[in-house]
Amino acid sequence: MLPSHPEPAKTGSGLGGAAISRGFLIAVVVGYLLVLLAGPLVAIVLEAFDQGLAPLWAALTQPDVLHAFEMTLWISLAAVLLCTLFGTVVAFVLVRQRFIGRAFLNGLVDLPFAVSPVVAGLMYILLFGQQGWFEPWLEAAGIKVIFNWPGMVLATTFVAIPFVIRELMPVLQAVGLDQEQAAHTLGASRWTTFWRVTLPSVKWGLFYGIVLTFARAMGEFGAVLVVSGGISGRTETATLFIFRALDERQQVAGTGVALVMAAFSFSILIVMELLKSRTQEAAQ
């Protein structure tokens, strides 16, 4: 489901010997990339620094902004925890076990990719909001899911479910059973086998999945917008803050936070690329 990770070319030749058409193609592609990616990035840098460094720093260190970053971080960590723990179990079950309904379960894993973030938020409102399926029990227990952080964690977890599973499965498959079976023969318990044999051999794939999950969770917007109510200082994540700040004419704060998130995405990208090459090395 997730696109794979190839390396750039090692060959130099290409379509048509003519250097002109080669140069032209490269120019077209690079140009497209520039217009699509670089232009907007430059614009946002300029906008954030519009009034200079000091106002930007002041805007970024406001209590609201710091709290929003905190919320984003905790919610993302919670989502990563849930997705990794359960994702590993699901991947393991799907690869190592055979049972009726396995294909169906496998298909389920891809569903979050097909769901729009607003629909993800709607789902949880329909379950936990007024007139929701679980509302009577929650009301009795005094638990608030919607307009509160549990709803946001749930929604963020949902959108990120497939990543760990889909990264782990092929690696688990490739690694095969030999080592595990060897460990069993030598008398290792199930847990020891998993911890000392299986996990280390799939670790790069697992890390890559975790990083993807983290990136996805940090950037989540639509689902948390619907589920949280955007209560500043309480249920506002970084993305929700940006949305609100732009409405409040806090142009510098809004674009500043957006820039921070963009910079963060770049670092995630670097980590992703490093992990990709490790995964490939490990596969060889």
Partner 1 sequence: MRMKGRIRRGKEWFLSVVILVLALNSVCVAASENPTLVLGGFTTPREAYGKAIIPAFQSYWKTKTGQNVMFQESYLGSGAQARAIISGFEADVAALSLEGDIDKIAEAGLIKHDWKGNAKKAMVSRSIVVFAVRKGNPKGIHDWADLSKQGIQILTPNPKTSGGAMWNVNALYGAALRGQVKGVAKGDATAARQFLRDVFKNVTVMDKGARESITNFERGVGDVAITYENEVLVGRQAGQTYDYVVPRSTILIENPVAIVDKWAEKHKTRELAQAFVEFLWTPEAQRMFAKYGLRSIDPAVEKETTKLFPPVEDLWTIEYLGGWPAVSKNIFGPQGVYIQVMAELRR
Partner 2 sequence: MTQGQRTSPWGRWGLRATAVTFLLLMIVVPLAAVVERGFTDGLAGLWEDLHAPAAMDALWLTLWTALLMTVINTVMGTLTAYVLVRYRFPGQALMNALVDLPFAFPTLVTGVMLVVLYGPQRAVGGWLQRQGIEIIFAPAGIVLALLFVTYPFVVRAVQPVLMELETEQEEVAYTLGASPAWTFVRVLLPAILPAVVTGALLCFARALGEFGSIVIVAGNIPGKSLTAPVHIFGEIEAGNLRAAASISVLLLGLSFLLILFVDWVQQRREHRSVAVSV
- Quick check: 231 and 147 in contact, CB under 8 A? yes
Nearer to partner 2, 26 or 231 (CB): 26
Among 78, 242, 253, 275, binds partner 2 (CB under 8 A): 242
Among 229, 260, 264, 278, binds partner 1 (CB under 8 A): 229
> What gap in Å lies between CA 174 and CA 183, rounded to an integer?
17
Could you count the other beta carbons within 10 Å of the beta carbon of residue 61?
9
Listing DSSP states for 77-104 in one string gives HHHHHHHHHHHHHHHHHHHH---TTHHH
Q: How many residues bind partner 2 (CB under 8 A)?
A: 103
Give min distance, CB of 147 to partner 1, in A.
5
Site residues (CB under 8 A) for partner 1, limited to 238-277? 246-249
User: Segment near partner 2 (CB under 8 A), from 59-67, 111-119, 143-151, 195-203?
Assistant: 111-119
Q: Tell me which of partner 2, partner 1, none is bound by residue 6, counting a contact when its beta carbon lies within the kind-specific cut-off of 5 to 8 angstroms.
A: partner 2
- Contacts of residue 107, defined as CB under 8 A and 6 or more positions apart, other chains included, come to none
Give min distance, CB of 272 to partner 1, in A.
18
- Contacts of residue 26, defined as CB under 8 A and 6 or more positions apart, other chains included, come to none
Among 49, 77, 81, 86, binds partner 2 (CB under 8 A): 86
DSSP reduced 3-state for 18: coil
110 near partner 2, judged by CB under 8 A: yes
User: Segment near partner 1 (CB under 8 A), from 15-23, 123-131, 178-186, 264-272?
Assistant: 123-131
What is the CB-side half-sphere exposure of residue 166 using CA atoms within 13 A? 18
Among 44, 77, 188, 268, binds partner 1 (CB under 8 A): 77
**Tokens standing for 214?**
């983290």
121 near partner 1, judged by CB under 8 A: no
- Contacts of residue 199, defined as CB under 8 A and 6 or more positions apart, other chains included, come to 206
Q: Tell me which of partner 2, partner 1, none is bound by residue 32, counting a contact when its beta carbon lies within the kind-specific cut-off of 5 to 8 angstroms.
A: partner 2
User: Segment near partner 2 (CB under 8 A), from 27-35, 54-62, 138-146, 198-206?
Assistant: 27-35
Among 129, 162, 205, 209, binds partner 1 (CB under 8 A): 129
Q: Give the torsion sign (CA, 198, 203, 204, 210).
A: positive
DSSP state for residue 17 in the 8-state scheme? S
